Chains A and B, each alone.
Chain A
Amino acid sequence: MENLDFARMQMAFILGFHIIFAAVGMVMPFFMITAHRKWLRTRDEVYLKLTKAWQKGVAIFFVIGAVSGTALSFQLGLLWPEFMKHAGPIIGMPFSLEGAAFFVEAVALGFYLYGWNRLNEKFHWFTGLIIGISGVSSGILVVAANGWMNAPSGFDFVDGVYSNIDPVAALFNDAWFSQALHMTLAAFTAVGFGVAGVHAYQVLKKKNIEFHKKAFKIALTFGAIAAILQPISGDISAKDVAQRQPVKLAAMEAHYETGTGVPLYIGGIVNEETQEVKYKIEIPKALSFLAFGDFNAEVKGLNDFPKDEHPPVAIVHYSFQIMVGIGTLLMFAGILFLISLKKITLSKKTWYWILFAFLTPLGFIAIETGWIVTEVGRQPWIIHGVMKTSEAVTPMPGIQYSFLMYVLLYSVLTFTAIFLMKRQIKSINKNA
């Protein structure tokens, strides 16, 4: 393997790591302030305990998200100096705004975490709300910058020179909205189901049931609503990608030959050599319809594009399938949860809690696979149609060692986070 491959693996690894902590740090404050509000309204001690328990989770996830985000902002330059040399000024806008939003978040977090019994109750709660709002804004801005890599805009590129830079047009690139919407809903879905799942498992174990049921309900209300809305956003994204990056769409569906009335493949094993997909389920004309809203629309296949501009097909196809599969499953689970709010008998069944405990990691897997689709699906480009990833990489050799170091460091952090969460739960159950 070459330096470039290790640089890509390192970037994928640290992004994949950061996104989990970033998503939790973005969404959990909303659960926290919901519980906090219930405490202020009802003065039911359970809600206060829940708020404080979640606050510890927010603090731990926030710090890991913040330091890994700091590392990430350095990595852009360290791994891809040629990319940053040209892209830095163009996509600086979302990053500088993100810096501001992150600052607001850090200040609000300072107020919230240390403000118990020291600040006015309402103001204290309000600072919690600011944490959530600024966190989501940060997420949207960073995704907008990524959107620019998929849909570069706000500059002219002639003979290798970037000119007429318009940072505002770069921020509002064609992909920012569909990507930001999809990611925000994904974060709420994943964290909602993730947190709810952890509490569902505690309910199953018959530990501190009242507490965990209340936690479950708050988290999953957010998760379920997001999961039910997500397919709409997925549809917007698919149509958008079909227009802007037809080669990515073709890779997502392992679709090689251009045609009309193209079927949708579900599952299947891709053979990139023979360009065949085996063992798939075929839904006639569905891809044409999903991509263009017309059962007979033409969908371009990979073979319409030069071979050196093909992204890796198999991994993009599998990742896409996994993401959509999980998204669908979580949508139905979300509907089931909403029904169970009316039909109380459902939540008395053991299988109900087993199901939600089982769903704990799935949203995060969907986020990871979704980013694989976005990022690997854009290859070989780092800026779609403008700069190739191989042109952007650092000239410094030996990236495999730094890759190894990050794998080690972040594995330790992951185990630490899991270890700390286990101890959190243990102490909550003990003090109940």
Chain B
Amino acid sequence: MEIGIVLFFVFFSLLLYVVLGGADFGAGVLELFSSDKNKEISRGVVYRVIGPVWEANHIWLIILLVVLWIGFPIYFNVVSIYLHIPMTLILVGITIRGVAFVIRHYDAIQDESQTIYNRLFRLGSLITPIFIGMTFAALIYGKIPLLEEQTEPLDFYETYVAPWFNLFGLFTGFFYASICAFLAATFLIGETDGEVRAVYANKANKALIAAFVFGGAVLSIGLINGNEFILTTIKSPVAIVFFTLSFILLFPLYKAIKNQKVILTRTLAVGQIMFILFAAMYPAFPELVMTNKGSVSILTDIAPPSVIRYLAIALIVGSILILPALFHLLKAFNLIKIFKK
């Protein structure tokens, strides 16, 4: 029971980080791929829309991290040792873009240094989701060598670099970056109108196509390499149902974007991400790290029941405190469109 609650929060915070943090990264990606005129417009919109929730969007990552280390220490241990480098790169990205985002609005003097802040924000916003994608890819790529399992000595590159630095990872990174851009564009459709809205609708579609292409590449590479995780996933009926669902959703989504429907596009987009995430995680669960000799279960030697119980209670109490406040924040700044007449 308690472990179910904790696992729910792992999935919940992962989903929210992928969606909210993703939209946040995507805003920068969109800015990067905009004409100069649109860059200025984007900048203004992004500030108005993301400013109030910027920090909250990123706390989901911390919640996820803390829940993993408290509840699933063995799993967390493997991830922190073998994915040290890409996680460090994610941190550098988060640091640079976060700081650049805030100071470009809080620098008291607006001058040419804005160009530097803008560049850092945009580039950081692109690079960070790519590294996040690479980290996820490494978990399922099946190249992580658990040192205690190896019969032959491996060098630094094979142990700490090769598991994440490969084509599969790179395309997963591009895939996630496109998803981010897509989420941001979908979100911004509802925050703008007229000509600008049409621009975002156009961008949402382009990002969707990019995500489709990169996603296809990831799948192909996985199949060619005979990736265990991908094979398990495509053989799982549940995964197939959810992937199909998310594929079918593409059609109403495409239409909703074209017709610039605000609430519908958001709902469909989030639904789609949720389906993909669930379909990807469900079949292999709980084996959520593929190693070169097998896999590591997230449920290996989880924290004792006393800890899991407190963690579950803390998560529920925390949600009761925070979610209404967060909801109110979104409402106060008119970010939930359902409340707008």
Is there an interface contact between A84 and B77, defined as CB atoms closer than 8 Å?
Answer: yes
In Å, the complex CA distance between A121 and B73 comes to: 46
Identify which of A76, A89, A396 contacts B160 (C-beta below 8 A). A396
In Å, the complex CA distance between A106 and B156 comes to: 39
In Å, the complex CA distance between A373 and B326 comes to: 39
Which chain A residues lie closer than 8 Å to B160 at the CB level? Answer: 396
Query: Restricting to B90-138, which residues have a CB under 8 Å from any CB of A?
Result: 91-92, 94-96, 98-99, 101-103, 106-109
Name the segment of B79-87, B183-191, B252-260, B264-272 touching the other chain.
Answer: B79-87
Is there an interface contact between B109 and A96, defined as CB atoms closer than 8 Å?
Answer: no
Is there an interface contact between B107 and A114, defined as CB atoms closer than 8 Å?
Answer: no
Min C-beta distance of B214 to chain A, whole Å: 26
Query: Restricting to A104-145, which residues have a CB under 8 Å from any CB of B?
Result: 104, 106-111, 113-115, 118-119
Query: Restricting to B228-259, which residues have a CB under 8 Å from any CB of A?
Result: none
Is there an interface contact between B98 and A66, defined as CB atoms closer than 8 Å?
Answer: yes
Is there an interface contact between A420 and B107, defined as CB atoms closer than 8 Å?
Answer: yes
Is there an interface contact between B66 and A107, defined as CB atoms closer than 8 Å?
Answer: no
Contact with A along B316-336 (1 / 0, CB 8 A): 011001100110010011000
Contact with B along A156-181 (1 / 0, CB 8 A): 00000001011110000000000000
Give chain B's interface secondary structure class. helix
Contacts A96-B67, A111-B52; is A118 near B332 (CB within 8 Å)?
Answer: yes
Which chain B residues lie closer than 8 Å to A82 at the CB level? Answer: 77
Min C-beta distance of B112 to chain A, whole Å: 13
Is there an interface contact between B108 and A106, defined as CB atoms closer than 8 Å?
Answer: no
Is there an interface contact between B311 and A107, defined as CB atoms closer than 8 Å?
Answer: no
In Å, the complex CA distance between A54 and B58 comes to: 24
Min C-beta distance of B162 to chain A, whole Å: 14
Min C-beta distance of B119 to chain A, whole Å: 14
Is there an interface contact between A103 and B99, defined as CB atoms closer than 8 Å?
Answer: no
In Å, the complex CA distance between A90 and B307 comes to: 7
Name the segment of A57-65, A186-194, A213-221, A346-354 touching the other chain.
Answer: A57-65
Contact with B along A65-104 (1 / 0, CB 8 A): 0111011011011100110111011101101110110111
A397 contacts B by Cβ under 8 Å: yes
Which chain B residues lie closer than 8 Å to A107 at the CB level? Answer: 56, 322, 325-326, 329
Q: Which single residue of chain A is at the shortest CB-CB distance from B77?
A: A85
A56 contacts B by Cβ under 8 Å: yes
Contacts A71-B95, A394-B84; is A420 near B103 (CB within 8 Å)?
Answer: yes
In Å, the complex CA distance between A339 and B147 comes to: 65
In Å, the complex CA distance between A167 and B98 comes to: 33
Q: Which single residue of chain B is at the shortest CB-CB distance from A402?
A: B88
B70 contacts A by Cβ under 8 Å: yes
Is there an interface contact between B73 and A84, defined as CB atoms closer than 8 Å?
Answer: yes
B51 contacts A by Cβ under 8 Å: yes
Min C-beta distance of B335 to chain A, whole Å: 10
A405 contacts B by Cβ under 8 Å: yes
B277 contacts A by Cβ under 8 Å: no
Which chain A residues lie closer than 8 Å to B193 at the CB level? Answer: none
Q: Which single residue of chain A is at the shortest CB-CB distance from B324?
A: A107
In Å, the complex CA distance between A235 and B254 comes to: 68
Query: Restricting to B158-181, which residues have a CB under 8 Å from any CB of A?
Result: 159-160
Contact with B along A389-416 (1 / 0, CB 8 A): 0000011111000100100010001001
In Å, the complex CA distance between A163 and B321 comes to: 31
Is there an interface contact between A409 and B92, defined as CB atoms closer than 8 Å?
Answer: yes
Contacts A74-B65, A89-B307, A92-B70; is A100 near B95 (CB within 8 Å)?
Answer: no
Identify which of B54, B73, B147 contacts A86 (C-beta below 8 A). B73
B71 contacts A by Cβ under 8 Å: yes
Query: Restricting to A353-412, which residues have a CB under 8 Å from any CB of B?
Result: 394-398, 402, 405, 409
Identify which of B92, B102, B315 contacts A60 (C-beta below 8 A). B102
A423 contacts B by Cβ under 8 Å: yes
Which chain B residues lie closer than 8 Å to A343 at the CB level? Answer: none
Query: Restricting to A187-210, which residues have a CB under 8 Å from any CB of B?
Result: none
Extra inter-chain contacts (20) besides given A56-B108, A103-B318, CB under 8 Å: A60-B103, A63-B98, A64-B99, A67-B98, A70-B62, A78-B87, A78-B88, A85-B74, A86-B73, A88-B70, A89-B304, A92-B66, A95-B66, A99-B59, A103-B56, A104-B325, A119-B332, A396-B84, A396-B160, A423-B108
26 pairs, CB–CB < 8 Å, chain A vs chain B: A63-B99, A67-B98, A68-B95, A73-B66, A76-B69, A77-B76, A77-B80, A78-B84, A81-B81, A88-B70, A89-B70, A89-B73, A92-B310, A96-B314, A96-B318, A103-B63, A103-B322, A107-B329, A110-B54, A110-B333, A114-B333, A395-B81, A402-B88, A405-B92, A413-B95, A423-B107
